[in-house]
Amino acid sequence: MSLQLNKSEKSEHLYMEVYHYYRNLILEQRLTPGSKMPSLRKCAQELRLSRTTIENAYLQLAADGYIISKAQSGYYVTDIAQRQVVPSSLKNSKSTLYQYDFASSGVDRESFRFDLWRRYIKSALRQDERLLSYGEPQGEADFRQALCEYIRERRNILCSADDIVVGAGVQSLLHILCPLVLDKKTVSFPTPSFIQGSTVFSDYGFEVRYRNKDSGVIYVSPAHMTKWGEIMPVSRRLELIRYAAQNQSLIIEDDFENEFVYLQKPTPSLFGLAGGQGVVYIGSFSRLLLPSIRISFMVLPSVLKEAYQQKAASYNQTASKAEQIALCQFIRDGHLAAQTRKLKRLYSVKLRQLLSAVQTVFGNTSRIQIGSAGTSLALTLSVPFSGEELKKRAAAESLRIQILKDAPGEVTVILSCSSMREQDFLPACRLLKSIC
Amino acid sequence: MSLQLNKSEKSEHLYMEVYHYYRNLILEQRLTPGSKMPSLRKCAQELRLSRTTIENAYLQLAADGYIISKAQSGYYVTDIAQRQVVPSSLKNSKSTLYQYDFASSGVDRESFRFDLWRRYIKSALRQDERLLSYGEPQGEADFRQALCEYIRERRNILCSADDIVVGAGVQSLLHILCPLVLDKKTVSFPTPSFIQGSTVFSDYGFEVRYRNKDSGVIYVSPAHMTKWGEIMPVSRRLELIRYAAQNQSLIIEDDFENEFVYLQKPTPSLFGLAGGQGVVYIGSFSRLLLPSIRISFMVLPSVLKEAYQQKAASYNQTASKAEQIALCQFIRDGHLAAQTRKLKRLYSVKLRQLLSAVQTVFGNTSRIQIGSAGTSLALTLSVPFSGEELKKRAAAESLRIQILKDAPGEVTVILSCSSMREQDFLPACRLLKSIC
């Protein structure tokens, strides 16, 4: 073997070098399907690396489908090179497929402190006794207490840990909430785009409408009213609360991206403004931590608390207990607040830079919409073909975009800055212009 | 400080000694509420232990509510001693509250290789790129492939990874499945005891019945027909499949505890017997690994596959991506099969020992029911009071039992061997007898 490794690199990078070395051998079919990989021991000896480094590389290769382990035998090369398909893990992280990805809702990859998060998970996994039992249906008590203090401080929401229900994502929470409010019969969403939400309501027999405040349930994301980050002004929030109270409608406040309100002071939560009456507050962490961590929570108003308590034991907890324990301590140690500050600063700068790149490239030939929050802007282009066609042309150039609106002769695309690198904004915009 | 530590112990045990030392100081209020804990550095110096050991002890104390960390300041003693309440983590792992716990459905604590599982989670958390994006709605592709091979080998189920849907527990799967089969209108369960299942169906408007095979959906757990582990004979399985096919009913086969069939050969799955027609197969890992790992899966029959595919993108994945990645490799490396063999051997011995202890203590004064699977037996006692009263009396003696049936003058309790130690069977049975 002739793998040249720079020994001075950290061991975390070393294993990726080993990974890429073997991946290339496999893709070029210099290691043929079915052939056995060298044993960990042998490979470590030959490359003069630690067994752990080799093992990590092999695990990554296995996870990506290049090799497969057979019990008590070792690792074997799969037929991935012959199948000529993209391994599933690459299919997921679309950014590795596209040179430029304006459509990803992932987190900026430089911003997340993996080392830190790993340390908290490791600590959580050391609590053997706790992990041997089922989780509390409502969510771990200490985690709910930490959430309670966090939203009191940051969103001015006064509640007790008893009012909080934890679940694996917003849908898991709606699966508990919907059956409690079946008598409301109708639900209104701001736009048809939040399919994950409307699907759950329609599964439970609700009539789903849009922008209709005469509905039994009014679902809003006040910090994310449009894809380009418009936020709901306080006057409209108060009006909505009054109107809903008069009609005995329930408001569901999905506080998505409230952390990324840049151009004005953070607006008070509906839950806080309504004094906790008639509003369910939903918070989540997918935009702050890793999208792959499935933890959300809701705060129930007193009117729903009793109904929930009666059924609480009928629902198993969906969120991972280890991740709840880890996140609890992560919050208590101030890391969530720090991460939020960091991301807010970062996205605020990135979004301005993206805007400037779009203005430079498209100038007056297009319409730009940008709100005071979020990580995206909307760009309306005059093109003689459909949005689908534009998307296809972009993909052919390794550029990923998301179509918001497709009118004759005019297509609106959403450009997100969140997982793009700043130096890519200008070339990506130029590329987009070249195919219009 | 005068903490005497045995330095020869492993570091995992060291931190628990530090933990218990401080816990006692706090509970005895020798460290008063609000007082600051020594810094990690100082404490490590004084006790001549590593900072990591002290940190682990502090994290555990914090997780259990004895101390609380304040950002950029340190750890402080809570008012837990004054509140005189049981910390939440102790409330969860009920076995630490009871001397003997016959009611726990946890896993035998000696059997689970925490070190091994931690290693797999650690590997999974090293896949930064993969964790930065959302998980696949249907479950990670490589994990579904591994599941597919696992159930082909062990349950004779032929399917492709495309037929498998992953979710955070059986309820999360039912939340996806129910909306696809709303036209079935009625569902039958073997007993009213699986509340988590019946709740989801009734939330979707199904009429829930018991042991009524003229229902649109028939939910069965063939390896867990009763709490005391009776299994469904093959003849009845075939009859059920025929009957359901005639009536166009859908069978949901929850293969709970199929791994723990001791007294006869493992019975074929309904899914396998029916050739994958008209049966949804559900598998989970809570009895094999940690109950706190929330991962289950279902195999859809071809008749439901298209309906699911049309809606698949409307449901976010609920199971943790890191845990899916870890479990995938854990299965591929043969550890799940090994853990299953180990637990099966262990529970088979423990259940026999429990039976012998019950026979020794209760002799002819009671009725014992025991099946050919599972980890429990049913014991019917003649008592002049109610089941609730018996449970209360048991709890007063630090003995936890679960009541199955409460008839006048006769109470049936379920005794589970799974998380009890073998040497406790006899004394626990004697204690139970003494309060009857």
Can you give the CATH number for the domain in which B413 is found? 3.90.1150.10
**What mean pLDDT comes out for the span A76-80?**
81
Find the residue in B nearest to A96 (Cα).
B129
Contact of B339 with chain A, judged by CB distance below 8 Å, is answered with no
Whether B432 has a pLDDT exceeding 60, the answer reads yes
Transcribe B105-126 into DSSP letters: -S--TTT--HHHHHHHHHHHHT
Question: Is residue A78 located within the same domain as residue A160?
Answer: no
Contact of A375 with chain B, judged by CB distance below 8 Å, is answered with no
Q: Where are the beta strands (DSSP E) in A72-145?
A: 74-77, 100-101
Tell me: the pLDDT tens digits for B245-258? Answer: 999 999 999 988 87
Are A165 and A173 spatial neighbours (Cβ–Cβ below 8 Å)? yes
**What mean pLDDT comes out for the span B198-205?**
96
Question: Is residue A270 located within the same domain as residue A382?
Answer: no
Of the three residues A333, A365, A381, the one that is the final residue of a domain is A333
| B265 located within any domain | yes
State the pLDDT confidence band at A110, using cuts at 50, 70 and 90: confident
Tell me: the pLDDT tens digits for A128-175? Answer: 878 888 889 999 999 999 999 999 888 888 999 999 999 999 999 999
| B340 located within any domain | no
In sequence order, the β-bridge partners of residue A166 are: A297
Closest residue to A56, CB basis, from B123, B291, B337:
B123
Whether B340 has a pLDDT exceeding 50, the answer reads yes
Q: Note down the domain range covering A56.
A: 14-92
Find the residue in B nearest to A149 (Cα).
B70
| A351 located within any domain | yes
**Mean of per-residue pLDDT scores for chain B:** 85
Tell me: the pLDDT tens digits for A383-412? Answer: 999 999 999 999 998 999 999 888 889 999
B136: left (phi over 0), alpha (psi -120 to 50) or beta: beta
Closest residue to A88, CB basis, from B106, B141, B171:
B141
**What mean pLDDT comes out for the span B268-285?**
92
Question: Is residue B349 located within the same domain as residue B321?
Answer: no
CATH number of domain containing B157: 3.40.640.10
Find the residue in B nearest to A108 (Cα).
B132
Whether A230 has a pLDDT exceeding 70, the answer reads yes
Q: A204-208, A351-355, A423-427, B233-237: lowest mean pLDDT where?
A: B233-237
- To the nearest whole Å, the CA of B253 is away from the closest chain A CA by 19
Q: Give contacts of A322 with chain B, Cβ < 8 Å.
A: 121, 292-293, 323
Interface probe for B, chosen from A19, A80, A90, A130 (most Cβ of B below 10 Å), is A130
Question: Is residue A155 located within the same domain as residue A296?
Answer: yes
Closest residue to B121, CB basis, from A125, A129, A286:
A125
Q: What are phi and psi of A16, to 5 degrees?
A: -70, -30
Give the pLDDT of residue A11. Answer: 52
State the pLDDT confidence band at B153, using cuts at 50, 70 and 90: confident
State the pLDDT confidence band at B277, using cuts at 50, 70 and 90: very high
| B425 located within any domain | yes
| A392 located within any domain | yes
Of the three residues B92, B117, B144, the one that is the final residue of a domain is B92
How many domains does one find in chain B?
3
Q: What are phi and psi of A371, to 5 degrees?
A: -100, -160
Within 8 A by CB and 6+ apart from B384, the residues are B409
Contact A318 B63 (CB under 8 A): no
Helix axes B51-63, B40-47, angle to 10 degrees: 120
State the pLDDT confidence band at B8, using cuts at 50, 70 and 90: very low
Find the residue in B nearest to A114 (Cα).
B128
Tell me: the pLDDT tens digits for A285-333? Answer: 878 888 778 899 999 999 999 999 999 989 999 999 999 999 999 999 9
Question: Is residue B227 located within the same domain as residue B360?
Answer: no
Q: Where are the beta strands (DSSP E) in A344-419?
A: 366-369, 376-382, 399-400, 402-407, 410-416
Whether B427 has a pLDDT exceeding 60, the answer reads yes
Of the three residues A291, A312, A333, the one that is the final residue of a domain is A333
Give the pLDDT of residue B299. Answer: 97
Question: Is residue B165 located within the same domain as residue B299?
Answer: yes
Question: Is residue B225 located within the same domain as residue B302?
Answer: yes
Tell me: the pLDDT tens digits for B210-230? Answer: 999 999 999 999 888 778 778
Are B208 and B187 spatial neighbours (Cβ–Cβ below 8 Å)? yes
Question: Is residue A288 located within the same domain as residue A380?
Answer: no
State the pLDDT confidence band at A356, using cuts at 50, 70 and 90: very high
Q: Taking a contact as any Cβ pair under 8 Å apart, which residues of chain B between 10 and 69 contact chain A?
A: 12, 55-56, 59-60, 62-65, 68-69
Question: Is residue A170 located within the same domain as residue A86?
Answer: no
Find the residue in A nearest to B68 (Cα).
A332
Give the pLDDT of residue A3. Answer: 46
| A223 located within any domain | yes
More confident residue, A380 or B288: A380
Contact B294 A135 (CB under 8 A): yes
Tokens found for residue A324: 């709840």
ipTM of the complex: 0.71
| B120 located within any domain | no
Q: What are phi and psi of B188, to 5 degrees?
A: -115, 130
| Polymer length in residues for chain A | 436
**One-letter amino acid identity for A254?**
D
Contact of B194 with chain A, judged by CB distance below 8 Å, is answered with no
Contact of A315 with chain B, judged by CB distance below 8 Å, is answered with yes
CATH number of domain containing B26: 1.10.10.10
CA-CA distance, A281 to A279, in Å (whole number)?
A: 6
CA-CA distance, B273 to B276, in Å (whole number)?
A: 8
Q: Residues A38, A43, A47, A50: what is their CA dihedral angle, to the nearest 10 degrees?
A: 150
Question: Is residue A355 located within the same domain as residue A285?
Answer: no
Give the pLDDT of residue A92. Answer: 39
Question: Is residue B260 located within the same domain as residue B190?
Answer: yes
Give the pLDDT of residue B55. Answer: 82
CA-CA distance, B66 to B97, in Å (whole number)?
A: 17
Find the residue in A nearest to B118 (Cα).
A125
Tell me: the pLDDT tens digits for B9-21? Answer: 455 567 777 887 8
Contact of B160 with chain A, judged by CB distance below 8 Å, is answered with no
Give the pLDDT of residue A97. Answer: 66
Helices (H), ranges, A363-424: 387-396
Helix (H) or strand (E) run with residue B20 in it: helix B11-27
| B81 located within any domain | yes
CA-CA distance, B101 to B411, in Å (whole number)?
A: 18
Question: Is residue A393 located within the same domain as residue A328?
Answer: no
Tell me how far apart the terminal alpha carbons of chain B are, to the nearest angstrom.
48
